[in-house]
Every structure is written in C-alpha cells, then in structure tokens.
Amino acid sequence: MTPEKFPPLDPVIHSQIRLAVLSILVSVKKAEFNYLRDAAGTTDGNLSTHLSKLEQEGYISVKKSFKGKKPLTTCSLTEKGRTAFSKYIKTLEDYIHFEKT
Amino acid sequence: MNELEAKEEIRLIQEMIEKTRQSTAESGTLYFFWGIWIILAIIGNYVLVWLEKYDWIWINWVAFVLIGMAYSAFYSIRQEKKQATATYAQIAARYLAMACAVGFVLFGLVFPLLKVYSWEVIPPFIAVIAGIELFGVGGIYEWNLLKWSGAFWWIVSLAMLWVPANFRTLAFVPVIIVAYLLPGWVLRSNYQKSASRNDT
C-alpha cells in the first residue's frame, strides 16, 4: 500500500484536544467537563469549542445538569464516535507499520 | 502526517487512557471497612457463645450485615456523586461486588436460617465467595495482589474443612487481616499516592 492509498485521517479527531477528549471518553462511561479540561490541559473556552465540534459531528453526547447548585456538564462517547475513533487508531497504526517497512 | 506525528498521537492516546485509569483507581476504603466490621462481628459472635446466648448469634450477624450494607451503599453513592468519571472497569467491579454481597447474604444467612444446611458449612462457602470477589476485582483492575488474595481465600475454604466447626469462624480473623485488610491497605496507599500525583 502506498501512503496515498491510506484513508485520510478524520479531520474532526485530528486535533490534539479532540483526540485527548476521545481517548479519555473511550475508557469511561461518562466524564465531567472539569475532568476533561484538566486532563487535556486546556481552558474552559477552548474545550467548549472542541466539545461543540465533536457533538455536532455526533461523536459525543453532552448532558447538562446540576450538581447541587452548580451547573454540571457531562460528556460520553456515542457509537458513531467509538467507530470513528477505532478507525482513526487503525489508520495511525497502518501508517506507522507502513513507514517501518 | 509523518511517522513521528503518528507516534506522537498514539503516545497522547496512551497517556490519556493511563491518566484516566490512575485517577479512578480504587480507594480500598470498603475493603478496610468490611475487614474490620466482620472481625467485630466475629468477636460479637464469640462473646455471645461465651455468654451462652446462642439465640442472639443470628441477630448479631443480621445486624452487622445490614448496617454494613447500608454504610457500603451510602459510601458508594456518595463516591459516585463525587467522581468526575465512571470507567467501565469501575462499573464492572461494582456489579461484581453487588453480586457477591447477594451471595454472602444468601449463603451466609438465608439458606442456613431456612435450614438448607448446617451453620458449620457457612465459613467455607463465605470464603469461596470472598475469593470470587477479590479474584474478579483483581482481574478487572489487573491487580495481582487482589488476584492472589482471591486464590488464598479459595485455599482457605478448603483448609476450613479440617478446622473444628466451632473454630471456623474464629479462623477467619487472621485470614481477613492477611487477605482483606492488607490488600485494602495497599490499595489505599496507592490511591493516596496517585491522588497526590494528580494534584501536583
């Protein structure tokens, strides 16, 4: 296989923050906004933008509720997101294997 | 994209998964609680034997188990509310713990009270279920200490058959210390280390 024949990397996932978010969500049932922000090492505003993009594409679902009196945003991976993430990793692995050979 | 970029993305994915795994590790609190709680119940059991209040022995166990389960449920719900994430491993471990709790109640209290079998065989049955719980949770979280503790409980369940019936419950005390409180203490210590790492 030549590099041109590799499927292109999903542009929705191909961003450091969005990739970090999906990597966390793939191993959890749900994660709170603050946890994602701290783990991804970003700011509230930046994370909100990336989450909106992922939500628009149907890769994650975002639920807004309250924890006591404070607003709480919880994110979880959708089936579409899980499939897209698996595909993304497969492409990355194929790429690394190709470069090695 | 070049190979270096691809490897960097794989590294980021691994780092995030590992970070999540560490931050949601088990605190070991309930192991501690149940270890000490059951030792107290055993002491209560032998105090009642010494006082020759045999009818109260079941009440002692029912009371300890019900209070223990109520505290466990309260603690788990509170922890769940506090946690910022819920991993599939935690959910699996929680269901396994609940299933074993039902097993403890049925094999340790309900069946003997219904005279399905004599109270003498309760300790080996309880040891088998404790083994299933520890080995299962050890497998889910990939903690060898818990897996070994689980296997130890199964050996104990067999060894119990050679212990005189009146001393089987008492024989639980050293086993609980070695294969329940000790792993609980190690888990707690790892959890505290992990929590302080995440704070910095």
The total number of structural domains in chain B stands at 1
User: What ipTM describes this predicted complex?
Assistant: 0.81
**Residue B62 pLDDT > 70:** yes
| Under-50 pLDDT residues of chain A | none
Q: Domains of chain A, with CATH numbers?
A: 10-100 (1.10.10.10)
Give domain status of residue B75, yes or no. Answer: yes
Give domain status of residue B6, yes or no. Answer: no
- The SS3 of residue B26 is coil
Amino acid symbol at A46: N
> How near does any CA of chain B get to the CA of A56, in Å?
22
Q: Which residue of B has its CA nearest to A93?
A: B6
The residues with which B86 forms a beta bridge, in sequence order, are A30
**pLDDT value at position B196?**
66
Confidence of residue B23 (pLDDT cuts 50, 70, 90): low
Q: The domain containing residue B148 runs over which residues?
A: 28-185
- Tokens linked to A70: 């404070």
DSSP secondary structure code for residue B177 in this structure: I
**Which has the closest alpha carbon to B104: B149, B66, B55?**
B66
Measured CB to CB, residues of chain A less than 8 Å from chain B are 9, 16, 19-20, 23-24, 26-32, 34-35, 39-40, 67, 89, 92-93, 95-96, 99-100
Q: What is the arithmetic mean of pLDDT over B34-63? A: 92
- Please give the interface size between A and B, counted as residue pairs whose CB atoms are below 8 Å apart: 67
**pLDDT value at position A96?**
79
**pLDDT value at position B200?**
47
**B93-137 tens-digit pLDDT:** 889 999 999 999 999 999 999 999 998 999 999 999 999 999 999
Residues of B in contact with A16 (CB under 8 A): 12
**Which has the closest alpha carbon to B133: B188, B176, B73?**
B176
Give domain status of residue B17, yes or no. Answer: no
Residues of B in contact with A9 (CB under 8 A): 1
The minimal CB distance from B16 to the residues A24, A30, A99 is found for A24
